[in-house]
Amino acid sequence: MPLVDTAIRCLTRFFAIHTGRYLGSKIDEAVEKSRQKQEEEQRLAEQRKRGAFWGGIRYAQRSMYKEALQEFQRAYDLGLQSNSCKYNLGICHTHLGNYEQAISYLKDTINMEGAKETLASAYICVGIKNDEILNFLIGMREIENYSIGAEAQIRNIIDTIHVELANYFVINPSKLDDEKIVILKDVLNQNEINDSYIIAICKYYFNKQDYSSVIHYVEKLQKKLSDIEMIKIYAISLKNAKDKSEKALEVYNDYLRIEPENYSMRLYVGEIFHLREEYEKEIELYKYGISIDKTNSLIKMNMAKGYMKINEIDKAIVEIQSIMNSAQDNYGINTSDLHKLLGICFMKKGMYRICLKQFLLCDNKVDVLEYLYLLGQMFEKKSDMEDARICWEEIYSVDSTYKDISTKLT
């Protein structure tokens, strides 16, 4: 029995070894066939991808972009997702007007030759919708590296970018800053005069309170100013530049027709008339202002000064007293100034004692020393030495060295 058992074990081991070898060889064969099949499938897939890609190239070379797109898309769907394939998909979409799709592919291939220019063209076609596009186009204004022979094309793209950016800033002036305003100015210098660009530049400088630049660019406008906001901007800029020319006066009057209640501008125009000794025009200007705001003390006071210049003294007195009797805010007018004006009015009317009373009510006597001295002389001529002495003593209390005042009191 032991011999039988030993024999059985030997036979079993023999068959196991040979059967394992057989099965192992069969498995190796199956693995090899599978590998070869996979390689063949990969080779065929690669052929299909390459075939589709080069088919797309051939169509594109013949400007058959619809067919080229189908081929490139097939290559892409088959797994050919190289930058070259994406770039060509972007090119085809651009030519077919599918700019959003073109952008999605071109953004991934930005470092390829020609991709930036094509992407810029696509962005221009869809418009500047966000800061990403805006910043990209700003960065594209100066392209340094481009293919030989493409100078004219690149120059055209750069010019188009400049104009597109300029148009964007006209609509979105809040995006302008000291660097971006240069773009608008460059476009203005390189192209025909465009009033919309000039207006955008003027508004930018006005917000910066650079009034001289506003005036400089307004003078470049081809058409007469009609835009209400621009008339205001130009008028305020001229006023801040202290321009009193005839041309400026026309602009100020245009402004007042738009905003007649603007008393600051009205006073400034009145000042110009006053300096020109055109007092009737000055008074008419103030009368209209008073018809709008009957409580405006500044306009009333300046109108009184105009009346005094044309010797309408009674009218001047009425306006001054109206201010003094008003319970309204006097716009910061010093009461002492009103007493001085009233004193001068009564002096012109020969009412010297009332005049003296007004001068004595002035807080700042330095301002009226000249008038007090003149009034004292008038009292002397009338032999009214008592009132004359009041004038001399008042002067002496303020300035003991004034003219010959010390002699007057001896």
pLDDT at 15: 56
Residues of the domain holding 384: 344-410
Residues 320-370: tens digit of each pLDDT: 999 998 866 667 888 999 999 999 999 999 999 999 999 999 988 898 999
Integer Cα distance of 284 and 288 in angstroms: 6
pTM of the predicted model, to two decimals?
A: 0.72
Residue 353 lies in a domain: yes
Q: Is the pLDDT of residue 147 over 60?
A: no
Residue 116: which pLDDT band, with cuts at 50, 70 and 90?
A: confident
Residue 12: which pLDDT band, with cuts at 50, 70 and 90?
A: low
Integer Cα distance of 176 and 179 in angstroms: 8
Q: Is the pLDDT of residue 265 over 60?
A: yes
pLDDT at 17: 58
Integer Cα distance of 114 and 143 in angstroms: 11
Residue 368 lies in a domain: yes
Q: Is the pLDDT of residue 306 over 70?
A: yes
Residue 100 lies in a domain: no
pLDDT at 365: 87
Kindly state the DSSP code that residue 365 receives in the 8-state scheme.
G
> Where is pLDDT greater, at 139 or 8?
139
The residue written with tokens 């005094």 in the block is 308
% pLDDT > 90, the chain = 59
Integer Cα distance of 139 and 124 in angstroms: 14
Q: Is the pLDDT of residue 125 over 70?
A: yes
Three-class SS of residue 327?
Answer: coil
Residues 37-96: tens digit of each pLDDT: 777 667 777 888 888 899 999 999 999 999 999 999 999 998 888 889 999 999 999 999
- Region 88-112 average pLDDT: 91
Q: Is the pLDDT of residue 209 over 90?
A: yes
Residue 190 lies in a domain: no
Residue 233 lies in a domain: no
pLDDT at 4: 60
Q: Is the pLDDT of residue 29 over 80?
A: no
- Region 212-233 average pLDDT: 91
Q: How many domains is the chain partitioned into structurally?
A: 1
pLDDT at 25: 67
Q: What is the rounded (10 degree) CA torsion for 173, 175, 181, 186?
A: -90
Integer Cα distance of 219 and 201 in angstroms: 12
Residue 404 lies in a domain: yes
pLDDT at 139: 86
- Cβ neighbours, 10 Å, residue 390: 19
Q: Is the pLDDT of residue 382 over 70?
A: yes
> Where is pLDDT greater, at 304 or 326?
304
Asked whether the CA dihedral 12, 13, 16, 18 is positive or negative, the reply is negative
Residue 318 lies in a domain: no
Residue 408 lies in a domain: yes
Residue 158: which pLDDT band, with cuts at 50, 70 and 90?
A: confident
Contact 255, 233 (CB under 8 A): no
Q: Tell me the HSE value of 232 on the side-chain side, using a 13 A CA sphere.
A: 10
Instruction: Give me the long-range contacts of 179-188 (CB less than 8 A, separation at least 24).
Output: 180/138, 183/138, 183/141, 186/162, 187/162, 187/163, 188/220
